Copies of this chain bind each other. A is one copy, B any other.
Amino acid sequence: MTSTEPRTAHHRAGIVPAAPRTGRLRPLGLDEVRITGGFWAERQSVNHRHTLAHIGRWLERAGWSRNFDLAAAGSLPADRRGREFSDSEIYKYLEALAWEIGRTGDGELEATFRDLVGRVERAQEPDGYLNTNFGRPGQAPRWSDLEWGHELYCLGHLCQAAVARARTRPDADDGLLAVARRAADLVCEVFGPKGVQSVCGHAEIEVGLAELARVTGEQRYLRQAQLFVARRGTGTLRPIEWGPQYFQDDAPVRQATVLRGHAVRANYLAAGAVDVAVDTGDEDLLSALVTQWDNTVARRTYITGGQGSHHQDEAFGEDWVLPPDRAYSETCAGIASIMFSWRLLLARGDTRYGDLIERTLYNVVATSPSASGTAFYYANTLHQRTPGSVPDPDTASLRAESSLRAPWFGVSCCPPNVARTFASLDALVATADTQGVQIHQFADCRIQTRLDNGELVALDVQTDYPRRGSVRLTPTRDAADPWTLSVRVPHWADGARLVVTRAAGEVSTTHAAPGWASVRHAFRTGDVVELVLPMRPRLTHPDPRIDAVRGCVAVERGPEVYCLESVDLDAVSHGAVTDVADVRIDDTAPVEDHDGRPLACLVVTAAGPPDDLAWPYAERSLEPAPSTSFDVPLIPYHDWAERGPSTMRVWLPVAGRSHVDHGTTGEQRSEQKGNAIR
């Protein structure tokens, strides 16, 4: 990344989920970056081995796949199953399969994919209409409920699935792209310049049409996406209980200053609007979206990267409304936020977009699925007050807010959304520009791409991140000309170093400030560029305007947010303390790193105030006296709730100054520490 490079460049499309025509950075696709090991490879493996089949089974079991068969057989609507948007889960599943087939060449998945595409294709009407919930005798008419019907939303996901397939298997004859084109042609006809002057209550068609235009070269799709973006916010949707901001119909996209309303809708819309902006050269629109991202990240985003704090309408709260208990932080909103951030990263090249993507990947997306890949969080609370109960693995959860991960939901958008994200994750790792290659996410991987000047560059990345902070980048080809290797230094990484070792043996170490760290060189095999990130645990304070976590701190280490889970408290205290409500953190004691796990000094208080009040408000302070202290290991937030019902906190109340002397002495502390972590 040098300042002499052109502001935007024109790209050829790769095997990527988003292929903007212009932008500072060119995404590298599955043929150019391949994750080979480590944290994300493990998630991808579980996704491949367990999650995809789990989703397929539940789609059948819930009857959502069968809706397409019924539609083809003409026996809808009496037997239709699922909510009005259930078609979209089939399309997200198809998209996940397409990426996974592209990544692995799995023949069994290919057969599954082709079978399901056939069922979808047979349900399509002759004029291209495709939705199992509308338009047949006994169903509501097509497009009669734009507010809640989700027809265009579903078709947006259909387009994304078709695009994934077209990019990963451009020569496949499965027909999905043709299905999507027929549907998109109908959409352009019905909602075109002279058609219905409105939008879908749930944005998504915008990003789908923009990508379909990129894959097919059909400009009409891009213009239709542009129309949908331009119409949004002009009040074309009917009033609903939660107001027009729920579906971003309160203000035009180019005038809005922050994301608001339903968090998934808001981010999908923003992502689609970036697509429109960069492909039409609309700098004003792009600037508005950058401003929206800035304000949303500064004032409406959880420490995990999660977005959306309302349960009621799955929506953003006002600025600073970020309660940890009942944090909604919907998994799909995290994924949608990554889609938005990634598009701005490609357009603008700033590392802060990669920062938020990393934070959201580790602390929202990785949190949703269980280690087994067969249960999910729909919402991701930051404070679990009661242990809850284990959901039945054979029952779909009616509620988004189960205390432990559930196998499936009445609204089950998150499992296939997680699956498509993991299956295409390689494409978020690195980009190229005219000068060289940029590393955004740290994972063991192999990268190879041809720069615009024709130079073929290749490198391997080796790291044990996020367990350890070393990221080694080793070019695997001798370059004829210099090129620039850039690596994102995360915003939290004060004190990072870049150690460059030449094949000849020369070593140079430089301070790497947050932002881009770059080395320009005619790299040769044997050169090593090592980014060394400081992985000490950090105590993190919230902005005081976030009232809900006043007087608390969180512990972070590298990109991971940590939490206190009652299981660990119970173990360390030998059963004496079983609830996270009963402790405070001593923020005067350093949080130590024991083999990659932060160990916090927690002050244990009595279970409640001195006497358990009949009325919980009093003229005197009710802060209970501390009784003792323990060193307690914290765990990465994404790993919580894997050991049965528990209570959990991300934000830990700070012990009052008068309390921290009452605990064990430093000497006792280090003795206990030995016990605590074995």
Judge if A386 is at the interface, Cβ distance under 8 Å.
yes
Judge if A311 is at the interface, Cβ distance under 8 Å.
yes
The listed residue (B311, B399, B540, B653) touching A550 by CB distance below 8 A is: B653
Interface centre among A241, A310, A617 (most CB of B within 10 A): A617
Q: Interface residues of A: mostly helix, strand, loop or mixed? A: loop
B-facing mask of A591-623, CB < 8 A → 1, else 0? 000000000000000001100111111111111
A325 to B320 Cα, complex, angstroms = 10
Judge if A508 is at the interface, Cβ distance under 8 Å.
no
Judge if A119 is at the interface, Cβ distance under 8 Å.
no
**Contact: B609 with A303, CB < 8 Å?**
no
| A613: chain B residues within 8 A (beta carbon) | 298, 543
The listed residue (B319, B544, B618) touching A609 by CB distance below 8 A is: B544
Judge if A24 is at the interface, Cβ distance under 8 Å.
no
**Contact: A616 with B321, CB < 8 Å?**
no
Q: What are 8 inter-chain pairs, A to B, with CB distance below 8 A? A: A294-B614, A303-B617, A318-B386, A319-B385, A541-B618, A545-B608, A546-B616, A551-B551
Judge if A240 is at the interface, Cβ distance under 8 Å.
yes
Judge if A638 is at the interface, Cβ distance under 8 Å.
no
**Contact: B299 with A554, CB < 8 Å?**
no
**Contact: A619 with B540, CB < 8 Å?**
yes
**Contact: B615 with A297, CB < 8 Å?**
yes
The listed residue (B294, B298, B491, B653) touching A547 by CB distance below 8 A is: B653
Closest B-chain residue to A383, C-beta based?
A: B547
Judge if A468 is at the interface, Cβ distance under 8 Å.
no
- Closest-CB distance, A585 to chain B (whole angstroms): 13
| A242: chain B residues within 8 A (beta carbon) | 399
The listed residue (B241, B311, B319) touching A410 by CB distance below 8 A is: B241
**Contact: B386 with A298, CB < 8 Å?**
no
Instruction: Tell me the count of chain A residues lying within 8 A, CB to CB, of chain B.
Output: 64
**Contact: B321 with A538, CB < 8 Å?**
no
B-facing mask of A303-331, CB < 8 A → 1, else 0? 10000001110000111110111100000
**Contact: B383 with A608, CB < 8 Å?**
no
| A301: chain B residues within 8 A (beta carbon) | 616
Judge if A217 is at the interface, Cβ distance under 8 Å.
no
For the complex of A and B, 10 pairs with smallest distance between CB atoms = A543-B616, A312-B312, A551-B551, A311-B312, A550-B551, A241-B398, A541-B621, A540-B617, A318-B385, A544-B623
Closest B-chain residue to A411, C-beta based?
A: B241
| A581: chain B residues within 8 A (beta carbon) | 320, 545
A491 to B612 Cα, complex, angstroms = 16
**Contact: A385 with B617, CB < 8 Å?**
no
**A binding-site residues for B, Cβ under 8 Å:** 239-243, 294, 297-299, 301, 303, 310-312, 317-321, 323-326, 352, 355, 383, 385-386, 398-399, 410, 491, 538-548, 550-552, 554, 581, 608-609, 612-624, 653
| A319: chain B residues within 8 A (beta carbon) | 385
- Closest-CB distance, A382 to chain B (whole angstroms): 11
A311 to B324 Cα, complex, angstroms = 16
20 further A-B contacts with Cβ under 8 Å, apart from A312-B312, A319-B385, A540-B619, are A241-B410, A294-B614, A297-B615, A298-B613, A298-B614, A298-B615, A311-B312, A318-B386, A352-B614, A383-B547, A542-B616, A542-B617, A543-B609, A543-B613, A543-B616, A544-B609, A544-B622, A544-B624, A547-B548, A548-B548
| A624: chain B residues within 8 A (beta carbon) | 544
Whether A548 touches B323, Cβ cut-off 8 Å, given contacts A310-B311, A543-B609, is yes
The listed residue (B326, B385, B544) touching A653 by CB distance below 8 A is: B544
| A240: chain B residues within 8 A (beta carbon) | 398
Closest B-chain residue to A359, C-beta based?
A: B615
Closest B-chain residue to A325, C-beta based?
A: B321
| A544: chain B residues within 8 A (beta carbon) | 609, 622-624, 653
- Closest-CB distance, A441 to chain B (whole angstroms): 18
**Contact: B491 with A615, CB < 8 Å?**
yes
